[in-house]
Structure 1
Amino acid sequence: MELTVRNFGPMKEAKIDFADLTFLIGPQASGKSLSLELLKLIIDQQHIIATLRNYSYILSKTDAKNILECYFGEGLSGLFKENTEIGWDGKRFTTQDLLKNLARQKASEMPKESVFYVPAQRILSIADGRPKNFMEYDTSNPYVLRRFSETLRIFMQGGLGNPDTIFPMRNRLKGAVKASINQTIFHNGKVVIDKSGDQRKMKLEIDGMKIPFMTWSAGQKEFMPLLLAIYCLSGPPTQVVDKSDYEWVIIEEPEMGLHPRAIQSVLLEIIELIQNGYKVIVSTHATTFLEFVWAFNNLKALPQEDFKKAMSEVFGIDINSTTANLFDRLKEKTIRTFYSAKHASTGKGVTFADISTLDAFSSDTDIAEWGGLSSFAGKASEIVSRYGK
C-alpha cells in the first residue's frame, strides 16, 4: 500500500510503498512523525472522530480545523495547504473526507481502530508510574500520545488480569527475549504494581527496594511503555484491547535510551509482530535496525534452514530454541527503508527516498551511507586507514 504526499507541512514530496516491515530514517524535523500521524489519520479517521466526540470535543461540521488541531496538536491545522495533495492506496484524501465522516457517523457508533501507534513521546504516558486518562492531556499533545496512554490505561486495568508483577510475566514474551530484557534493562529487578498509595503505580523492585518510576534509569523509563504496548499485541487475547482489530503497528524511535543489545530484543519483538501478520512501521535513528536489514538482504537467498541458522547467529540465539522459530519463513517477508531529508541542492522541502538496498557501493550517497547513519563510521575508518599506518 502506498502513501503519496505533496506540500504537506515541511514535506515537499513523499512516496512511501509500505512493506511487511518498513523503516523510516532521517534527521529530526524531517517529516517522519508527521507522515506516520497522517497515515493513522487516513486509516483510522472514523475511529478518531468517534473518539473525539466521545470525549465531548467540539467539532465543526463545516470546517475541519477543529478536527485537525485536536489530532495533530494546537495550531497545526496549517499543515494542510491549498496545494496539499495526499493519496492512499490509489485514492485521494482531503480534509473534506473528515467532515463527511463526521456528518454521517452516529453518535453512539465506535468504528474499529486499525493502527496501533506507539509515539516517540510515550514516556509521558506513564510519567508518574501509571498510564494517564485521555482527558488528562490538552490538545497541545498530539492525539497519538493521548490515545496510546488511554489504551495502556485500559489494558493495565483489565487486560493483564490485575497482576502484582508486570515484568517478568508468563505467556507474554519468548524465553530468550525475556532473558535478554532482564539482562540488559532490568538486571534481575521486577516491575511491580504498588498498591500502598491512593493510586496503583509501577515500581521497580530490586535489592529489597521499591523504586518509584521517576527515579528509574532513562532506558528503563523509555522501555516500559513500549513493553506494555508489546503486551497489548502479543500473548493471550483480551477483551479490553482486541489485538485482532489491528492491522498496522507504528513504533517511533524504539531505541530511545537503550543499549544495542536491548535494541536487538526489541527487534526480535518487531519480527514477531510481522510474523503474526501485522504491517509494522518503525522510525529510527539507530544503525542496529539497518544492520539487520542489510544482513537480511544478503542472507535471504539462502535455503531456509541456512537462513534460519544464520539469523540465529546474528541474534546470538540457540537454533533449537523456540525464539529461533521467529525466523521460519521470515525471508518471504518484504522489508523496505525510506530516507527523509531536506536537500538544499534541489531547492525543495523535505523529500523521501527509497534506500532499501542499503548498498554500500551505490553511487547514490543516501543509499551508500544509509541515510547518513553510517557516514561517520565510514569516514572514521577511512581516516584511520590513512593515518593509522
Structure 2
Amino acid sequence: MPNTVERLRIENFGPIVEAEVEFGDLTVFVGPQATGKSLFLQIFKLLQDRGSIWERFKSAGLVWTSQPQEFLELYLGEGMGSAYSPDNTRLIWNDEAVELAKHLSGANKSKKDEQIFYIPAQRVMCLSRGLPLRFVDFQAGDPFVLRQFSETIYQMTQTEFARASRFFPVSGRMREGVRRRLQESIFAGLGLSLKRQQHQKRLVLTDESGRELPYLVWSAGQREFVPMLLGFYWLMPSGKASRRDEALRWVIIEEPEMGLHAQAILDVMTLALELLRRGYRVCLTSHAPLVLDVVWALGVIGRHGGTDADVRRMLNLSPQEAEVAKHALQVRPRVYYFQRNGRAVDISDLDPGAEHIEESGWGGLTEFSGKIGEVVAEVVNRYERKKAS
C-alpha cells in the first residue's frame, strides 16, 4: 500500500482562496459546483506531468509564450488563464513553493512518462456517435484532461481492440462478479460491441439477436458510463499485468456517479477499490452521498473488527471478490470539503456527531436529507398533537 505523504497547498487561484490537501490512498473531494475541486486536481496533474503535457501539446502543433496565463488557457481551458495571478497565487508542493513560470519552462526537459490518469467530468463529450475523438479533434481552448483522456481511449479502441468485435462483457476484463452486475445495472442485459464503419470502429449496444442500438439512443447513464468503462479497461489490462504502466501511479475520476443508479454507483466504487488493490492511488470528486457512505462504512467496519465478508455483503460482492474486499479494509482515505467561501476543510473522520456541520453533514451531502427528515418529523408530531387535542 503506498504510504508516502504527498501534500499540495493552493492559495488564491480562481475560486480557491486556500486549500491544503494531504493525499491518502483514496482521496475524495466534495462540495458545491465551481468551488475549485477540479481546478485543484488539474493543477496537481500539471505539477506531476508537465513533461508529458508539454510533449502532447507540441505533437499537436500548439504553441504558447513563456507567460503562465497563456499556457493555462491551453491547459485548463479558454478563459481560465486569468484564474492565475503572478502576484497572489501560491503553489506549495510537499512543503516547497513552486514558481509556475519556472516550473513550466523546464517542462521540455522533464520526464515524459505520465504519472496521473485523469477521467474528467466532461467525459461524455469524448464520444461522437460512438467514436472516441482524437486530441486534435477538440478546440485548442478545450481542457487538456478531456482531450488527453479522449485520445487515450481512441487509441485503445482502434489498436488494442482492433480485431475484437465484442467490447463488454469480455472474459479476462474485470472480475466476473462486477461484469455481471454492470451488465444488469447499466446495460440491462445488452452487450457493448465495436462495429467497423468507414475504416474506424464505433461503439454500439447489441442485444442477443444482434440488433444494434447506436450511440444516440443510449440512456444518459450509458453514455456517461461507457467512457469511464474505457478508462477502467486502460488502467486494468488483461493478462497477468496488474497495471498498464509502472510509472502511472495516480487515477483521478471526477463525479463517477453521474447518470447512475445506486447499484451502479456501488459497482463503480468496487472498481475504484480494485484500482487501489492494484497499487494505484485514487482521487474522486463527488456530489453523491452514497460515495461517502461507502468510504465512511469501510472505516467503521475496519475499526470495529469487521471482515471482508461484511464488505462483500455491503457492496453485493461475490465470494470471488474477497481479495478486493480484504484490501478495502486497509485503505486509509482522506476527504476534503471545498466550501463556497473558497476554503477547503479536512473532514476525513466523517463523524456524524462532529461539532462542525461541515463534517457532521459530510460536506453538505447528508445535511439536507437530515433537514428534510427533521421538518417531516416536526410536521407529523404537530399533526399528532393537534389530532390528540
What is the match of residue 135 of structure 1?
Answer: 136
What is the match of residue 95 of structure 2?
Answer: 90
What is the match of residue 167 of structure 2?
Answer: 166
Extract structure 1 runs of 4+ deviating beyond 6 A: none
Are residue 154 (structure 1) and residue 146 (structure 2) matched? no
Of all paired residues, the percent bearing the same amino acid is 31
What is the match of residue 388 of structure 1?
Answer: 380
CA contact (8 A) 1:118 1:250 kept: yes
TM-superposed CA distance for 1:216, in Å, is 0.3
Query: Structure 1 residues 11 and 269 mapped into 2: Cα distance closer, same or farther (>3 Å)?
Result: same
Alignment of 1:105-254 (within 5 A): 111-160=112-161, 162-206=163-207, 208=209, 209-236=211-238, 242-254=244-256
TM-superposed CA distance for 1:102, in Å, is 4.3
Alignment of 1:214-363 (within 5 A): 214-236=216-238, 242-303=244-305, 306-318=306-318, 321-343=319-341, 350-363=342-355
Tell me the secondary structure at the aligned position of residue 200 of structure 2: coil
TM-superposed CA distance for 1:362, in Å, is 1.0
- Tell me, in whole angstroms, the C-alpha distance in 2 between the residues paired with 1:63 and 1:280: 31
Q: Residue 47 of structure 1 aligns to which amino acid in structure 2? A: S
Tell me the secondary structure at the aligned position of residue 264 of structure 1: helix
- Tell me, in whole angstroms, the C-alpha distance in 1 between the residues paired with 2:55 and 2:125: 24
Tell me the secondary structure at the aligned position of residue 255 of structure 1: coil
What is the match of residue 384 of structure 2?
Answer: none
Are residue 33 (structure 1) and residue 38 (structure 2) matched? yes
Query: Structure 1 residues 102 and 366 mapped into 2: Cα distance closer, same or farther (>3 Å)?
Result: closer
**Consecutive unaligned residues in structure 1, runs of 5 or more:** 344-349
Q: Residue 214 of structure 1 aligns to which amino acid in structure 2? A: L
What is the match of residue 347 of structure 1?
Answer: none
Deviation string 1:90-135 (CA, Å, 9 cap, x unpaired) is: 2222222344314646xxxx71000000000001111321111100
Q: Residue 359 of structure 2 aligns to which amino acid in structure 1? A: I
Alignment of 1:52-67 (within 5 A): 52-60=57-65, 62-67=66-71
TM-superposed CA distance for 1:157, in Å, is 1.8
- Tell me, in whole angstroms, the C-alpha distance in 2 between the residues paired with 1:167 and 1:196: 19
Are residue 24 (structure 1) and residue 29 (structure 2) matched? yes
Find the partner of 2:18 among 10, 13, 16. Answer: 13
TM-superposed CA distance for 1:59, in Å, is 2.8
CA contact (8 A) 1:58 1:66 kept: no
TM-superposed CA distance for 1:44, in Å, is 0.3
CA contact (8 A) 2:190 2:207 kept: yes
Tell me the secondary structure at the aligned position of residue 250 of structure 1: strand
TM-superposed CA distance for 1:237, in Å, is 6.2
CA contact (8 A) 2:54 2:108 kept: no
Greater alpha carbon shift after TM alignment, 94-103 vs 3-12: 94-103
**Consecutive unaligned residues in structure 2, runs of 5 or more:** 1-5, 382-389
CA contact (8 A) 2:352 2:361 kept: yes
| Residue correspondences, number | 373
Q: Residue 96 of structure 1 aligns to which amino acid in structure 2? A: A
TM-superposed CA distance for 1:67, in Å, is 2.1
| TM-score (ref. length: structure 1) | 0.91
Tell me the secondary structure at the aligned position of residue 328 of structure 1: helix
Deviation string 1:245-270 (CA, Å, 9 cap, x unpaired) is: 31000000010100010000000000
Are residue 366 (structure 1) and residue 364 (structure 2) matched? no
Tell me the secondary structure at the aligned position of residue 354 of structure 2: coil
Tell me the secondary structure at the aligned position of residue 289 of structure 1: helix
TM-superposed CA distance for 1:198, in Å, is 5.0
CA contact (8 A) 1:63 1:99 kept: no
Q: Residue 216 of structure 1 aligns to which amino acid in structure 2? A: W
CA contact (8 A) 2:36 2:338 kept: yes
TM-superposed CA distance for 1:227, in Å, is 0.3
RMSD: 1.9
Deviation string 1:297-320 (CA, Å, 9 cap, x unpaired) is: 2111244xx4212111111224xx
TM-superposed CA distance for 1:161, in Å, is 5.1
TM-superposed CA distance for 1:170, in Å, is 1.2
Tell me the secondary structure at the aligned position of residue 332 of structure 1: coil
